[in-house]
Chains A and B, each alone.
Chain A
């Protein structure tokens, strides 16, 4: 089954404790993104990757890091989480970018709470 998986699905942590949210897709997609979703603000892109070892900042990259060492995996790293990073996070993948008429497939989401 074609899918995007994320782990963990739920996480409660404390300020400053480094964490990683994993994302994996089995569709051999080149393009992957991380979004955060907050009430009234919609989905905002954090980082995106066009292929292995190619990443770029989205709209809200501060406080986040990513890496793309393998095509299928795109982990999101919060090195020193703060309460304003409490949010619902989605990973997404597609076989191209919007201009090539490829749609994004979203993972199930990770609900993160930083105390």
Chain B
């Protein structure tokens, strides 16, 4: 059974701090990795994708991938109350298959 695991949280950080979200995946064949943000009652929204080992930065967000450790993380710098949401990690194959989502980590940024 292919799995993606995340700490469910809630993770609470003060405004302006760095929020660190972690994810592990079981399928070594996974090649594509995604972070989605989901506000309560809303649909998931893609915020980062990463395909190669190392770091990928986009504004305040940095995704990190370590395929040897089967580990993906998302760092949010200068966290804002508007970042309070559930963050879904997803892993996808490089074949005709489907993306597997983790259960999500709830983040709360305290003003």
Chain B binds chain A: yes
B72 located at the interface, meaning its Cβ lies under 8 Å from any Cβ of chain A in the complex: no
Cross-chain contact of A42 among B31, B98, B104 (Cβ < 8 A): B104
Across the two chains, which residue of chain A brings its CB closest to B97? A97
What is the total number of residues of chain B having a CB less than 8 Å from a CB of chain A?
A: 27
Across the two chains, which residue of chain A brings its CB closest to B45? A106
Which of the candidate stretches B11-19, B56-64, B75-83, B86-94 sits at the interface with the other chain?
A: B86-94
Q: Say whether chain B's binding surface is mostly helix, strand, loop, or mixed.
A: loop
Whether B43 pairs with A101 at a CB distance below 8 angstroms is no
Which of the candidate stretches A21-29, A43-51, A65-73, A78-86 sits at the interface with the other chain?
A: A43-51
B51 located at the interface, meaning its Cβ lies under 8 Å from any Cβ of chain A in the complex: yes
* Interface residue range, chain A: 20 to 34
In the bound complex, residues from chain A placing their C-beta under 8 Å from that of B51 are: 101
Q: How far, in Å, is A45 (CB) from chain B's closest CB?
A: 5
Whether A58 pairs with B98 at a CB distance below 8 angstroms is yes
Q: How far, in Å, is A111 (CB) from chain B's closest CB?
A: 8
Across the two chains, which residue of chain A brings its CB closest to B86? A42
In the bound complex, residues from chain B placing their C-beta under 8 Å from that of A44 are: 101
B residues near A, CB below 8 A? 4, 8, 31-32, 34, 41-46, 49, 51, 88, 90, 92-99, 101-104
A residues near B, CB below 8 A? 33, 35, 40-45, 48, 50, 58, 90, 97-99, 101, 103-104, 106-109
